[in-house]
Amino acid sequence: DAGITQSPRHKVTETGTPVTLRCHQTENHRYMYWYRQDPGHGLRLIHYSYGVKDTDKGEVSDGYSVSRSKTEDFLLTLESATSSQTSVYFCAISGGAGGNEQFFGPGTRLTVL
Amino acid sequence: QKEVEQDPGPLSVPEGAIVSLNCTYSNSAFQYFMWYRQYSRKGPELLMYTYSSGNKEDGRFTAQVDKSSKYISLFIRDSQPSDSATYLCAITRNSGYALNFGKGTSLLVTP
């Protein structure tokens, strides 16, 4: 998985609770992304980062926030989890020597009850 | 209209067949084209990456891009049961931009 880890790998939580997902890379890539994958929708961008402390919104950012205080870590927070946020979340990185290719982590399966 | 259209399948072929997977896109600003393979409950794995129109070959896989028609294809020769997975096309404008994904085509290669 190109030196990308995600934690936790599985999580079950209740509606209204905050949840933080972590993405950690060992590749020193500049760009990091959070996607969610849902049946019928495919992969959709939530937020992305183009450097430490530099982030921007993606297509489905409502209800999510992100932070990047170090090159290697990108955190995704669900401020108050809802059932519609039940999904599989993938982190991706790009900006290495290869340039434009994006490499994905193993995913976090989140269930909100 | 979604920016990337991909037939979801499922597509079922016998072992050894040639598989053709296709996507169309709507915006000529897209310059970089990728194919990912995703096994069940795993992350997408980058298979092919192309920039220009034409063909790029890697083993049994060939990626084809026709920018004039906004059409990209992935061909798999001598398909194997281990090729059974979902194949995702993805396109982007440049480094640092998010990928626009097709919804994926589910492929089953039967022995």
Q: What is the mean pLDDT of residues B83-98?
A: 88
Confidence of residue B98 (pLDDT cuts 50, 70, 90): confident
Query: Is A111 in a helix, a strand, or coil?
Result: strand
Q: Do B96 and A106 touch (CB under 8 A)?
A: no
- Given a cut of 80, whether residue A76 has pLDDT beyond it is yes
b/e map of A43-77 (b: 16 or more CB within 10 Å)? bbbbbbbbeeeebeebebbeebbbebeeebebbbe
Confidence of residue A97 (pLDDT cuts 50, 70, 90): low
Share the mean pLDDT of chain B.
92
Q: Do B43 and A104 touch (CB under 8 A)?
A: yes
| Cross-strand bridge partners of residue A67 | A75
Q: CB atoms < 10 A from the CB of A41, how many?
A: 13
Q: What is the pLDDT of residue B94?
A: 76
> Which of the residues A104, A109, A110 would you substitute to probe the B interface, choosing the one with the greatest number of B C-beta atoms within 10 Å?
A104
Confidence of residue B95 (pLDDT cuts 50, 70, 90): low
Q: Do A42 and B95 touch (CB under 8 A)?
A: no
Rounded to whole angstroms, the maximal C-alpha distance in chain A is 42
Q: What is the pLDDT of residue A75?
A: 98
